[in-house]
Amino acid sequence: MTATVVHAPGFQRSLGTMVSVRSVSKVYPGGVEALNEISLDFPKGQLTTLLGPSGCGKTTLLKIIAGLLPATSGEVMVDGMRVEGPGPERAFVFQDFALLPWATVLRNVAFGLELRGVPVAERESIAEHYIGQVGLKGFEKHYPHALSGGMRQRVGLARALAVKAEVVLMDEPFSAVDEQTRRKFQEDMLELIKNEQKTFIFVTHSIEEAVYVSNRIILLSRRPSRVMRIIEPDMPRGITPDQIRRHPAYLDAVEMIWQALKQYLD
């Protein structure tokens, strides 16, 4: 039987670190203190989930890692390099999809490459590959308004994969889709992660989702955010999704996180 490992906040894993957040604080103009001296390491090739109460600063942290938002103090290192802004080794999957409504699925998926000046033929063939990977073959010429929420998010994911970034940052990618689509998408994502060998940083509200897809889960406290606990749900792979959802390790991890987060409900 596999066990769920719990670490104290200061724990450092020996595995190569891809993204390292060092005493990052963020105070928004107007005085809202979203993050307070937060330090975190994200291991290479793994999926790490940020989980915490609403408004605790998860999106803020993700955008700082993405280089879309400057930190008030502290620094973020990606593969040993200090983050000064967006970079080619990081790609973002947006919660609201952020697809261009006037562009086809093909152009949307290829858009990151278009901005980098990759020639049309080349970027379209790369985009077609990833459109196939996320299961949207046949929809290349469709416009976003003709797609369901789940399909739009697949386009957003394909766009992030197409630029071949080593770090994929995902802000609640499933929050806008229904439960069935969500489960299907989670399973698909596990499949993709196995093949892609990338570092994924994932934000979610759903405890079950976190335990289901992550190698490690970072529990954040209420604003200003601190690391409360790091959990590594060591789920046996290679069993069916339904078996995972009934596995003691899965249920234990879900229960443990629920107990930890319950204190924030009042």
Partner 1 sequence: MISVPTSSRASAARTNPLRRVMTHTITFRILSVITVLGAWEYAGRRPISASFPSFSETFAAGWEMAADGSLSAALMITIVPLVIGITMSAIAGVAAGIYMGLDRRAEWVGVPVFIVMQAAPLAALIPLLVLAYGVGLATKVTVVCIMAVPAIVLNSFKAIRHAPVSLVEMGESFLGSREQVIGKIILPAASPVIFAGLRLGLASGFIGVILAELLISPTGIGDLITYHQSIAEYPKMFAAIAVVILLSVLFMEALERIEITLFRPEKRAQ
Ligand X SMILES: Nc1ncnc2c1ncn2[C@@H]1O[C@H](COP(=O)(O)OP(=O)(O)OP(=O)(O)O)[C@@H](O)[C@H]1O
Interaction site with partner 1 (CB under 8 A)? 66-68, 86-88, 90-92, 94, 96, 98, 100-102, 104, 111-112, 114-116, 132-136, 138-139, 142-146, 148, 151, 154, 159, 163, 188, 191-192
Nearer CB in complex with ligand X: 28/264: 28
Under the binding rule (CB under 5 A), the answer on residue 39 touching Mg ion is: no
Stretch that binds ligand X, among 26-34, 81-89, 111-119, 189-197 (CB under 6 A): 26-34
Nearer to partner 1, 95 or 214 (CB): 95
The residue within the footprint of ligand X, chosen from 123, 223, 226, 229 (CB under 6 A), is: 223
Distance of CA 184 to the CA centre of its chain: 17
For residue 15, give every residue at least 6 positions away whose Cβ sits within 8 Å of its Cβ, in sequence order, or none: 43, 44, 46
Contacts of 154 (CB under 8 A, 6+ apart): 134, 135, 136, 185
According to the 3-state scheme, what is the secondary structure of 203-219? EECCHHHHHHHCCEEEE
| Binding status of residue 204 toward ligand X by CB under 6 A | no
**Which string of b and e fits 73-104 if b means at least 16 CB within 10 Å?**
ebebebbeeebeeeeebbbbbbbebebeeebb
56 binds ligand X (CB under 6 A): yes
* 72 forms part of the interface with Mg ion (CB under 5 A): no
Least spacing, CB of residue 217 vs partner 1, in Å: 24
Angle ∠(12,40,96) on CA atoms, nearest 5: 140
Q: Which one among 5, 16, 28, 102 touches ligand X, defined by CB under 6 A?
A: 28
> Looking at residue 220, what DSSP letter applies?
E
Which residues are at the interface with ligand X (CB under 6 A)? 28, 30, 32, 34, 54-60, 205, 223
